[in-house]
């Protein structure tokens, strides 16, 4: 579920010139996995869904979860971007980041650190996101996050707009689930619109957002279906 990124604070003015923000997007490699996991952990620390899954004071476990996901699932797809301040992990159309053997590896590495309740909530979240995932061909924004000190600087918007260039070049829609309702205005400012909501049992809700395909004369380079990853996605304060 994407997303979806974290420490959720309302976005402030984009004129925060005093914020030291690294802003040059580049495609993440496996060498960036630890740094990307750190960005996600910083961004998702106060995320309602991540807190529902892992509980309070669980940053180390959250970090281990994110590092496994980006190293094993997202970065190998070649569509995870980072600036050092922000990161965005996309799933291209027709690709499934969660190969069958990853579930066994995940349980082997993180299972001993997860309580039964945490594992059950993680499974519930994954089942729900799979059920609500659209069937049409699209780009899926699994996770996006901004380091807490850069919230309100516009860094998240700049990274998102950079990554959307490929989506638009393919003339395809984009989709995500936001794990924090406070981030919905951020996505709406970047061309997304709410297309549904989903409730976790005894937990917070997910907000589904989609962005329509941009039609122009550039030939499409991608085709095929899209599948949801077995982890949370969400959204970050930007």
Report residue 159 as tokens: 């990274």
The pLDDT score that the predictor gives to residue 22 is 58
Cβ atoms of 167 and 81 closer than 8 Å: no
What CATH number corresponds to the domain at position 170?
A: 3.40.630.30
Q: Is 88 helix (H, G, I), strand (E, B) or coil?
A: strand
The pLDDT score that the predictor gives to residue 101 is 84
User: What pTM value is reported for the model?
Assistant: 0.82
Q: Could you tell me the residue range of the domain that residue 32 belongs to?
A: 3-9+19-234
Q: What is the mean pLDDT of residues 213-234?
A: 45
- What are 84-112's pLDDT values in tens digits? 899 999 999 988 888 778 999 999 999 99
Max mean pLDDT range (150-159, 176-185, 214-223): 176-185
Tell me, yes or no, whether 14 lies in a domain: no
Residue 66's contacts (CB-CB under 8 Å, 6 or more residues apart) are 36, 37, 40, 41, 44, 143
Tell me, yes or no, whether 197 lies in a domain: yes
pLDDT at 136 over 60: yes
Q: How many domains does the chain have?
A: 1
The pLDDT score that the predictor gives to residue 47 is 96
Sole residue written with tokens 């003339």: 171
20 burial (CB, 10 Å; 0-12 / 13-18 / 19+) is exposed
Q: Please, which pLDDT band fits residue 231 given cuts at 50, 70 and 90?
A: very low
* Percent of the chain with pLDDT strictly greater than 90: 71
């Amino acid at each position: 579920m994407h997303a979806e990124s974290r420490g959720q604070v309302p976005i402030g003015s984009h004129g925060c010139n005093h914020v030291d923000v690294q802003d040059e997007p580049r495609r993440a490699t496996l060498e960036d996995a630890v740094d990307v996991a750190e960005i996600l952990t910083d961004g998702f620390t106060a995320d309602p869904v991540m807190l529902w899954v892992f509980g309070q004071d669980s940053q180390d476990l959250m970090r281990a979860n994110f590092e496994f996901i980006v190293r094993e699932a997202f970065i190998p797809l070649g569509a995870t971007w980072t600036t050092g301040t922000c990161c965005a992990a996309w799933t291209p159309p027709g690709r499934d980041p969660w190969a069958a053997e990853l579930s066994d590896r995940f349980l082997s590495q993180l299972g001993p650190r997860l309580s039964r309740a945490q594992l059950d909530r993680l499974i519930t979240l994954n089942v729900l996101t799979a059920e609500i995932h659209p069937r049409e061909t699209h780009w899926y924004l699994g996770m996006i996050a901004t380091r807490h000190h850069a919230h309100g600087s516009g860094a998240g918007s700049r990274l998102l707009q950079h990554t959307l260039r490929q989506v638009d070049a393919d003339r395809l829609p984009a989709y995500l689930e936001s794990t924090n309702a406070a981030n919905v205005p951020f996505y709406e400012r970047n061309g997304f619109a709410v297309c549904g909501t989903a409730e976790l049992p005894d937990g917070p809700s997910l907000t589904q957002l989609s962005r329509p395909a941009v039609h122009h004369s550039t030939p499409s380079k991608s085709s095929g279906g899209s599948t949801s990853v077995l982890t949370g996605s969400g959204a970050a304060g930007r």
